[in-house]
Amino acid sequence: MLPNARELFDIPDGIAYFNTASLTPTLRSSLIAGEGALLKRAQPWRIQGADWFSGAEQRRALFAELIGAAADDIALVPATSYGLAVAAANLTAPAGSRVLVLAGEYPSGIYTWWRFAERTGASMLTVDREPGRTWTEAVLDALAAHDDGVAVVSVPRVHWTDGALLDLDRIA
């Protein structure tokens, strides 16, 4: 069981909020950091050239430590869709191969893979799950059914509409 974390968020007593797959409450520590950034931004003449990079480098190092990687292994991008577009622009796929995505996935990433499929001659393979089955099982079944014909698998760790966890180690 997870420990109670209510004090980490600005959630009043008597409120139970469960829609965190779509829109999650902000951590109090993030609110404080955001307020600090806004106060700094309010006086732009105080911002130095190094300020543009020091915060990003600190975040890369902290995240790398969290996942057991090196800071140089971490890329920061302004949005997931931008990161996917950069990846897709640097990939290729054989004509006739497939790009596997999940049904109901957030559209900005899907648009990237549609353009990729058009450019390479690949096709989209949209995987849905049957009631009582997990997304991981649905993806593994689709991969088995299409054997070597899948060139790209673009799935999240957590499905954005329902918070369902995907086992990326098994899928990989």
How far, in Å, CA of 157 to CA of 64, rounded? 17
pLDDT tens sequence across 74-99: 999 989 899 999 999 999 999 999 99
Mean residue pLDDT across the chain:
93
Nearest alpha carbon to residue 56 among 32, 35, 75, 43: 75
How far, in Å, CA of 25 to CA of 10, rounded? 8
Taking residues 137-144, what's their average pLDDT?
98
pTM: 0.72
How far, in Å, CA of 3 to CA of 32, rounded? 23
Q: pLDDT-derived band of residue 59, with 50, 70 and 90 as boundaries?
A: very high
Q: pLDDT-derived band of residue 159, with 50, 70 and 90 as boundaries?
A: very high
Q: What is the pLDDT of residue 2?
A: 81
How far, in Å, CA of 96 to CA of 37, rounded? 48
Pair type for strands 150-153 and 98-102: parallel
Taking residues 100-121, what's their average pLDDT?
94
- Residue 104 tokens read as 């109901």
Amino acid type, 37: A
Q: pLDDT-derived band of residue 50, with 50, 70 and 90 as boundaries?
A: confident
* Res. 54: pLDDT tops 90: no
How far, in Å, CA of 62 to CA of 70, rounded? 10
What percent of the chain clears pLDDT 70, i.e. is strictly above it?
Answer: 99
Residues constituting the chain: 172
Nearest alpha carbon to residue 157 among 141, 139, 132, 133: 139
